[in-house]
Amino acid sequence: MSLSDDAFLVRLYDATGEERYFKAARAFWDMVVPPRMYSIGGTSTGENFRRSGIIAETIADVTAEDAAREALFV
pLDDT value at residue 66: 66
The answer to whether the pTM exceeds 0.75 is no
- Which parts of the chain register pLDDT below 50? none
- pLDDT for position 73: 57
43 contacts: CB under 8 Å, gap ≥ 6: 32, 33, 36, 37, 49, 64, 65, 66, 68, 69, 72
The per-residue pLDDT for 71 is: 61
pLDDT at residue 12, as a whole number: 93
